[in-house]
């Protein structure tokens, strides 16, 4: 008898209590902080001049009022309400309208240090009264103080400063508002006073750095009490739609893998990929030396997407948009109609216009705004100018992961430095080939005084693909792929291939003529044999007829002789009988 199996009790995971958070409305920042800023607590945003502190604070307030029904109060100590309203109107923020709707209160507090002397009686009670009234007037849930330095400038007494800072932060907590306070960066500490980070529940550091004459803004959550958060530096951009943060280093490999296939727009290239093209959402690398046709393939890929009714983004770092449209028209690719229909956007810029991560944030914003099905980057190697290869590879890895998360089919072109020989080592120049789902390699083949293009599929994950080299031909009617000729150990392309085709065609014609001549000879022999057979058959029939006639004559002769003999015998018998009767009488 088997013993009864007793199941062990299941372990119960401890319930995780999360800290209440107030969403900022800035998607990237909410992802980094796993939900937003600590609700009902103060947050310090510090950094140098021009790093975006005021913009982050203002957007936190505006999005709270417009998206989360949380009115806010903005207390400023430097610019007045009119200046602030004018400064942010270009970003789409209408502070006048929000003020009239009782969603935001803008209050400029002017502090003249000459009006008071430094005494122990200095405190913030007046500010508390003014701020409390503003909060109560609209039922504010969010508060911004911009900046602390303007509030405490001219107050060197650190004892009073520390006491008032603690009092300010405690007052904000007691009111239950989510506060965001900005502070200037100090020389040897995060802020000038070096005290704010110790009394704030969350500290966000903004940085504006310049390397190689290229500026980059980055954000880091230095401290966040009571919750987990992203610890890395993240690039951010102040663009047309406000403050944008891309949590590029927090992306996971959990993207959706589509089984749908999309055409490359080149039928014979589709044939090399199992007849259906690439998987939707995959990343495709097209690499080759200068002039091999990389941009032409990406442009045709984009055009094919637009012809299917899909949206496409083309990021170009070598030519202007009009130059691309003009040049592609010469090979039968017309992009202008799709630009006019709004299915295609071409963003052309010099790679030195922004830092790498700024380029990445711009791409992220454009993708989020335009919602494309296809993205082309031509070429990624231009981003490597005067930059560390590892930094470029990390940036491209983040871009690839982001596009995969959005299920966007992406095609990247890359300039290689390999030779023209088909046996030259493959090199993707920036070392991202391992991140790609498919890799098309283009080469220039030089032979007999001319250069021609070849293409083959180096890899295509999950897709049956041809390992044959094809000649890549650009004509005024479009892109075509033709089979190459292999002469001993050399691949023949261009005029050598055409000559070989002509020789092969002439040899085929000669073989056909020889075959036709032999067929005529055989037909003639067959006819002669058939004629001889007919003659022999006629002779045999004549001989057979003659034989039958002879036999018939012989039979007739024999029958006639037999009848004659019978007649003679009969006659002889009759004579004998008549002569014997008279003798009997005598």
- State in words which class domain 261-490 has: alpha beta
CA distances for 439 relative to 155, 271, 288, 335, 410, angstroms: 64, 16, 11, 24, 12
Give the per-residue pLDDT at 390.
61
Quick check: bond before 13 cis, omega within 30?
A: no
Residue corresponding to tokens 């005067």: 386
On the CB side of 435, CA atoms within 13 Å amount to: 20
Active site residue 544: no
Q: What is the DSSP letter of 383?
A: G
CA distance 202 to 229: 10
Quick check: bond before 140 cis, omega within 30?
A: no
Could you say which of 149, 233, 271, 318 is catalytic?
318
Give the per-residue pLDDT at 438.
92
Closest Cα to residue 295, out of 262, 321, 268, 260? 321
Give the per-residue pLDDT at 4.
41
Give the per-residue pLDDT at 385.
55
Q: What DSSP string describes 21-36?
A: EE--S-HHHHHHTTSS
User: Terminus-to-terminus CA distance in the chain, angstroms?
Assistant: 147
CA distance 438 to 411: 9
Give the per-residue pLDDT at 208.
82
Active site residue 78: yes
E strand segments, 352-501: 374-378, 409-415, 438-447, 450-460, 470-475, 478-483, 485-487, 490-492
Question: Residues of 61-98 as b/e, b for ≥16 C-beta within 10 angstroms?
Answer: bbbbbbeeebbbbbbbbeeebeebbeebeebebebeeb
Q: What is the pTM of this model?
A: 0.64
Could you say which of 78, 271, 336, 345 is catalytic?
78
Tens digit of pLDDT at every position of the chain (586 positions): 344 434 444 444 444 456 889 999 887 888 888 889 999 999 989 888 888 888 899 999 999 999 999 999 999 888 888 888 888 887 778 888 999 999 999 988 876 655 444 444 556 777 888 889 999 999 999 999 988 777 776 566 667 777 777 888 888 889 999 999 888 877 666 666 666 666 678 899 998 877 666 677 888 898 898 888 888 888 787 777 778 777 654 456 677 888 999 999 999 999 989 888 999 999 999 998 888 889 999 999 999 999 999 999 999 988 899 999 999 999 999 999 999 999 999 998 887 666 676 777 788 888 988 999 999 998 887 776 555 556 677 777 878 888 888 899 999 998 886 544 444 445 555 567 788 899 999 988 877 777 888 888 989 999 988 888 888 888 888 888 887 666 666 666 666 667 776 777 788 888 888 888 898 889 889 888 988 998 988 888 888 888 888 888 888 888 888 888 888 888 887 654 544 445 444 4
Element (H, E) at 85: helix 81-88
306, 344 in Cβ contact below 8 A? yes
Give the per-residue pLDDT at 193.
62
CATH hierarchy code of domain 21-249: 3.40.50.300
């Amino acid at each position: 008898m088997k013993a009864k199996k007793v199941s062990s009790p299941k372990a119960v995971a401890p319930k995780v209590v999360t800290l209440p958070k107030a969403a900022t409305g800035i998607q990237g920042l909410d992802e980094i902080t796993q939900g937003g800023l600590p609700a009902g607590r103060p947050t310090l945003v510090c950094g140098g001049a021009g790093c975006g502190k005021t913009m982050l604070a203002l957007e936190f307030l505006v999005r709270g009022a417009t998206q989360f029904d949380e009115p806010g109060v903005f207390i400023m100590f430097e610019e007045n309400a009119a200046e602030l309203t004018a400064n942010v109107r270009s970003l789409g923020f209408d502070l006048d309208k929000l003020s009239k709707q009782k969603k935001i209160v803008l209050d400029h507090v002017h502090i003249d240090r000459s009006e008071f002397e430094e005494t122990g009686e200095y405190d913030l009670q007046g500010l508390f009264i003014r701020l409390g009234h503003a909060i109560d007037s609209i039922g504010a849930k969010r508060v911004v103080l911009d900046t602390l330095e303007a509030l405490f400038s001219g107050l060197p007494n650190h004892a009073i400063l520390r006491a008032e800072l603690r009092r300010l932060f405690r007052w904000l907590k007691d009111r239950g508002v989510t506060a965001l306070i900005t502070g200037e960066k100090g020389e040897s500490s995060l802020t000038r006073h070096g005290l704010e980070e110790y009394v704030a529940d969350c500290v966000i550091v903004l940085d504006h750095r310049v390397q190689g004459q290229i500026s980059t803004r980055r954000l880091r959550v230095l401290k966040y009490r009571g919750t987990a958060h992203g610890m890395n530096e993240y690039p951010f951009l102040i663009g047309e739609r406000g403050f944008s943060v891309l949590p590029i280093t927090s992306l996971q490999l959990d993207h959706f893998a589509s089984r749908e296939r999309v055409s490359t727009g080149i039928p014979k290239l589709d044939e090399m990929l199992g007849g259906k093209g690439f998987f939707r959402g995959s990343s495709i690398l097209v690499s080759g030396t200068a002039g091999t046709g990389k941009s032409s393939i990406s442009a045709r890929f984009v055009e094919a997407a637009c012809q299917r009714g899909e949206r496409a983004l083309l990021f170009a770092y070598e030519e202007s948009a009009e130059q691309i449209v003009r040049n592609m028209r010469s090979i039968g690719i017309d992009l202008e109609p799709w630009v006019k229909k709004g299915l295609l956007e071409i963003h052309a810029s010099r790679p030195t216009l922004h830092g790498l991560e700024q380029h990445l944030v711009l791409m992220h914003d454009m993708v989020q705004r335009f919602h494309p099905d296809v993205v082309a980057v031509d070429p990624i190697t231009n981003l490597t100018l005067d930059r560390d290869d590892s930094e470029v590879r990390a940036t491209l890895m983040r871009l690839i992961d982001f596009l995969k998360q959005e299920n966007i089919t992406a095609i990247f072109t890359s300039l290689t430095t390999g030779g023209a020989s088909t046996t030259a080592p493959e090199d993707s120049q920036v070392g991202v080939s391992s991140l790609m789902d498919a890799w098309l390699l283009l080469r220039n083949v030089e032979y007999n005084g001319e250069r021609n293009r070849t293409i083959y599929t180096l890899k295509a994950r999950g897709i049956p693909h041809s390992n044959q080299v094809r000649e890549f031909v650009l004509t005024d009617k479009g892109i075509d792929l033709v089979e190459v000729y292999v002469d001993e150990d050399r691949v023949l392309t261009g005029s050598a291939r055409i000559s070989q085709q002509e020789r092969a065609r002439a040899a085929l014609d000669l073989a056909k003529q020889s075959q036709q001549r032999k067929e005529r000879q055989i037909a003639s022999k067959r006819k002669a044999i058939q004629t001889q057979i007919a003659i022999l058959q006629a002779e045999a029939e004549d001989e057979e007829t003659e034989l039958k006639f002879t036999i018939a004559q012989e039979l007739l002769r024999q029958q006639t002789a037999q009848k004659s003999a019978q007649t003679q015998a009969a006659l002889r018998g009759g004579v004998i009988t008549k002569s014997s009767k008279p003798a009997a009488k005598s």
